[in-house]
Amino acid sequence: MLIALILMTLVSAGVCHYLAKKKQRNKPFWIFFGALLGPIAVVILLLLSNRS
């Protein structure tokens, strides 16, 4: 169970990094937020619009 939690945290942080880079958001903030909240941060980032 612990391995699954660690894996989910790492995957969420990685996905947040990718999405933040794509949407021109603050990457370190979103990596931290993704590690802290997991999939919830991914959903929040998906709902945010791109920066111009």
Secondary structure (3-state) at 13: helix
* Burial of residue 45, with CB atoms counted within 10 A of its CB: 0-12 exposed, 13-18 middle, 19 or more buried: buried
- Cα 35 from Cα 52, distance rounded (Å): 26
User: Bigger pLDDT: 47 or 50?
Assistant: 47
pLDDT of 3 over the 90 cut: yes
pLDDT of 52 over the 70 cut: no
Q: What is the pLDDT of residues 12-45, one digit of tens each?
A: 999 999 999 999 999 999 999 999 999 999 999 9
Q: What is the CA radius of gyration of the chain?
A: 11
